[in-house]
Structure 1
């Protein structure tokens, strides 16, 4: 599902905050993922050292990205694969369309891929008359619901079993029980036929190993393995930064990824494939295409302020500790990538503060996300830099500019400020309820609609200080 270009931030937040089930489900799921992670990382005993190694590996790759991209491309082509470089999302979509047109395929199976979400591939293929089938169970559910993922790891966390049963019933043609075995059995029956008959598959890529041309996928359902080995043609979609130099570095990052994402030592299926199929292989695609997406990652690479965001391994650990995400879920962000990392990378990928300038304010700046990140991205610092850059580029409302203009004036003129505060103290009773400021005119009403403010003091500290200073001196003389 493509996100609406005319996204209403306030309406989305209001909807999320009023959805009790969404909030409970989000907190329950993120609590479980966070607690699992804490338990499984604690057993290592030296988790911080692992994080530091992960940071060094990712920094090394990012700083030498051109070298490792060349190495990856060379080895993929040496193995018989086809490499396509997509500068923009539109390029990525066009490349995939051309592959379909070449073969005349009218259906495709997909495993989980955030890159295909990023370039909004599914709607385009469906418009071309191609049946697109998501094979990850959660992705299959939200595809039927025509919704984007609500979490990078748990895309359908906001759905109840009863809601899922209702989604499946039109396909089944009869009512379904809402217990987990019934629902998973139904999905398995539907998807198994697609696995057996599809001629083309599209997968994501967690890490590409540069020195062998190997693609690594991490799943817990095995659908990635089926999607990449059974069809005759496979397309792998990856962001240009998702590279490791060799298997040695891969082993470290797989440990960090599984433990941070789901609290597992390793995921159930860690699939490493080096397509295409060779003589003697019993499975694998005869034809393999690797699509490497830029989508302004080159600009991020050249931006010293935000380059560290390219270290991200898409584990979702920052989501699970973020107080904002845990209250409103993923859809309230309006972007493909939500949570703290989405707040950071979306304005960079889209190069658009006018549309995405609200995201840096989806943060309390508590730094829990930075502490949770397995590759030590300083997320809260990057969020603050976004806020700075947004203001410097002039993407602030007229009201906000006026507020800070007056703020600057009054706080640089103490006497005027004192008069203003005294005036406020005198007339604040109009806005007060039970000793608190409980209502106010815009823009103050945005705050008082959900919170109250303490009253303005009857006497400013500046006015109190002369008397306090006398008392302090008297006390000091008494001590002597």
Structure 2
């Protein structure tokens, strides 16, 4: 899978997503539910905006001094007996993981939820090795694995697009499940399957919410406890982390864990907040062989640029849960494992504009994502910045001639009084062709009952899915009302 989740064009992915009514309703329901939980959790903390300022300062400070903290972290991991490998590319990260597993002659590998392992394509690599049992231990990721490695649709809730009936059918076909669609029973089926592999696992692979520079430990926040089992049972642990996922000390990690839990799932803290590393001599469990793979894979592209602040992200998914575009098209339409506003900013940085240049335009620029971000990433401004780069520097979408002509025409029309007044007077007649009184369709003729069914070129995207209210008649427009109102005031 890697960073990309589809070979289809953005337009094709959107069309597919529009047809999936269940997924669209599931996203809307999740957004509404998460709004209540998230805002309640933030209000309970108190002084939320001040906490955002603190979280932003922690992330910005770390990015400013990133080489120092990465070196400090690496040195402290080594002091504890562990190993650190800096992977510039996804291929280097995969090769290192492969070499460790081959060296250990491991046959049973368990994984906890990790965006980076998906980004660098660890799962397909493990499958290709052959004769290895690979298990995704996060419940949602496990569902996607059993469903023939289906694509995730959300950063925090990757199986959001699946309902209980679909999951039951998947478990019945692949796991021999013969129960009902009760989520508790489905979870028991998954747990029974997982436990067997947990107990004989030889290598555990996890992500990393935050790496602690001054202790050489990693910090994981989960609600299921599967990551703790992934760390504590196998003798060998491999951690993959984006190079920006680091903090100076546990003090900063505790603050960001708090912000993460309240923004991601509307909780004060997740059920399990774990700090782990190489097994100490006086510990009864934990990895005897501890490896950390620090992944760049395009992140350096943002350092020192207008997009550097995107690396502040703590992967809470709050921006997805307020985005009106994500609400309508869901996660699969983005074609990246990072969907929503954060994905629309991050994916072009990591994967380039040729593959992800459509995503910065998948936004209304309403700014809701920026307002909700717990670490204050100016997401809508970065989306505009991407558009500037593509339009002004790369000339990717068009050369600007049409926009220039359009703006000149508008300038001419609004710059002459008689032309402007004529446009106002004809506005009702022109606008009367746009509103529709029936379900939108793009079949048949251009007009239906006097309304435009399918506009040409750039306007097509609007008329396909949008409608307008009937414009007021000339005598009822604001300017006419205002003149009449002023005249009446003068008479008094």
TM-score (norm 1): 0.90
Distance 2:286 2:7 in 1: 42
1:194-224 per-residue CA deviation (whole Å, 9 max, x = no partner) reads: 1100100100100111000011101111000
User: Paired residue for 1:220?
Assistant: 223
Q: Secondary structure at the match of 2:374?
A: coil
Distance 1:177 1:113 in 2: 30
Q: Secondary structure at the match of 1:301?
A: coil
Contact in 2 for aligned 1:410/1:417 (Cα 8 Å):
no
1:114-138 per-residue CA deviation (whole Å, 9 max, x = no partner) reads: 0011112111221121332100000
Gaps of 5+ in 2: 434-445
User: Paired residue for 1:288?
Assistant: 290
Aligned length: 470
User: Paired residue for 2:106?
Assistant: 105
Deviation for aligned residue 1:472 = 11
1:184-333 superposed matches below 5 A: 184-275=187-278, 277-303=279-305, 305-333=306-334
Distance 1:194 1:338 in 2: 31
Deviation for aligned residue 1:279 = 2.1
Give the 3 Å change call, closer, same or farther, for CA 395–195 of structure 1 in structure 2.
farther
1:398-417 superposed matches below 5 A: 398=398, 401-414=400-413
Distance 1:174 1:135 in 2: 18
Distance 1:419 1:402 in 2: 27
User: Paired residue for 2:121?
Assistant: 120
Q: Secondary structure at the match of 1:201?
A: strand
Q: Secondary structure at the match of 1:283?
A: coil
Deviation for aligned residue 1:435 = 6.0
1:328-355 per-residue CA deviation (whole Å, 9 max, x = no partner) reads: 21111111101111111110111x1121
Distance 1:420 1:241 in 2: 57
Distance 1:13 1:284 in 2: 45
Distance 1:455 1:402 in 2: 32
Distance 1:167 1:447 in 2: 38
Give the 3 Å change call, closer, same or farther, for CA 321–142 of structure 1 in structure 2.
same
Deviation for aligned residue 1:319 = 1.0
Structure 1 vs Structure 2 CA RMSD: 2.9
Distance 2:432 2:324 in 1: 34
Distance 2:309 2:409 in 1: 38
Distance 1:332 1:288 in 2: 37
Distance 2:161 2:468 in 1: 33
Gaps of 5+ in 1: none
Distance 1:319 1:245 in 2: 28
Distance 1:123 1:109 in 2: 14
Contact in 2 for aligned 1:354/1:395 (Cα 8 Å):
no
Per mean C-alpha deviation after superposition, the further-off stretch among 8-17 and 71-80 is 8-17
Q: Secondary structure at the match of 1:236?
A: strand
User: Paired residue for 1:140?
Assistant: 142
Deviation for aligned residue 1:474 = 8.5
Q: Secondary structure at the match of 1:440?
A: coil
TM-score (norm 2): 0.88
Give the 3 Å change call, closer, same or farther, for CA 429–238 of structure 1 in structure 2.
closer
Q: Secondary structure at the match of 1:43?
A: helix
Give the 3 Å change call, closer, same or farther, for CA 344–245 of structure 1 in structure 2.
same
User: Paired residue for 2:339?
Assistant: 338
User: Paired residue for 1:383?
Assistant: 383
Contact in 2 for aligned 1:134/1:140 (Cα 8 Å):
yes
2:454 to 436, 439, 447: 439
Per mean C-alpha deviation after superposition, the further-off stretch among 30-39 and 438-447 is 438-447
Distance 2:302 2:369 in 1: 20
Q: Secondary structure at the match of 1:33?
A: helix
Give the 3 Å change call, closer, same or farther, for CA 285–420 of structure 1 in structure 2.
farther
Deviation for aligned residue 1:396 = 3.4
